[in-house]
Amino acid sequence: MTDQARTCRATTALAARGEGQAAASLGALAVQHSPLPADGPLSPLAAAIDQHGGCVPLPYGQGQCWVARTGEAVSGMLYATPPIRWLQQQPPPHRNDLIHFLIEIELLAVAEPHRTQGVGTALLQEAENTAHANGTHLALAKIRIGAFPIMRWYRRRGYTIAAQNEPLVFATRHGLTSCDDGSDGYQLAAKALQPGTTLRRTARGGTPLILLERDT
């Protein structure tokens, strides 16, 4: 655990029903750099959290929303899901079997007064620990191209930052496969979650890639 996580005074847990607006408003900071108005219409994520709590049903598996609470206030949120786009690219008979192979950190945001206090680190560790327990092999986060402070933040927490369009290659029980950033203005940050596995940058046929491999 990092020093930041040890000094964090927030508590982390799955979001509760009724916290949808607070969680989604913070999540909007990660996308549009401004919170949702408290009196505006509920976003789909806010409505789903209000109905289901922190475990949100999805076409494949479920999304999970953790919140950090400092006193009575929701001071941070993290929303993670199975990588739906990647799953849809897999053969239909394999999709349910691969739901837990990857986890994608879709949203991670901390309210400005609570930044640099370890809140984001605590939320990320919560998501990683749960994914590890579920047998998940890789955690992924998409970072906007040029967002160097965020890249450094993830790198300090053990993530490898892929170059634009650089694929991650890994073996599943169904064979060798890969994923990438989707060429949509983001780069991938990735971290191996299971003991005895490592991400290594290499090349095949002159093409650079990041390979998930077992330690030898």
Q: Give per-residue pLDDT as tens, 199-210.
A: 999 998 889 999
Judged by average pLDDT, the poorest of 25-34, 60-69, 110-119 is 25-34
pLDDT score, position 42: 63
Query: How is residue 198 written in tokens?
Result: 């490592």
Which residue stretches of 75-209 are H helix? 84-88, 92-98, 119-133, 148-156
* Mean pLDDT for the chain overall: 90
CA dist., res. 140 & res. 212, Å (int): 13
pLDDT (average), residues 37-53: 80
pLDDT tier at 6 (50, 70, 90 boundaries)? very low
Residue 187 is predicted with a pLDDT of 94
Q: Which residue has the tokens 């890639």?
A: 209
Task: Identify residue 105 by its one-letter amino acid code.
Answer: I
Mean pLDDT of 5-33: 84
d(CA 131, CA 80): 10
Q: What pLDDT score was predicted for residue 32?
A: 67
Would the pLDDT of 38 be above 60? no
Which of 77, 138, 73, 58 minimizes the C-alpha distance to 104?
138
- Report d(CA 89, CA 48) in Å as an integer: 25
pLDDT at 213 over 50: yes
Of 29-33, 46-50, 171-175, 192-196, the least confident: 29-33
Read off the pLDDT of each residue in 125-154 and give the average, rounded to a whole number.
95
The per-residue pLDDT for 34 is 55
Question: Does residue 162 have a pLDDT over 60?
Answer: yes
Q: How many Å apart are CA 52 and CA 50, to the nearest integer?
A: 6
Alpha-carbon distance of 81 to 54, in angstroms, equals: 11
Residue 59 DSSP label: S
Q: What percent of the chain has pLDDT over 70?
A: 91
Instruction: Classify 133 as helix, strand or coil.
Output: helix
Cα–Cα distances in angstroms (integers) from residue 36 to residues 21, 23, 42, 105, in the given order: 8, 10, 9, 20
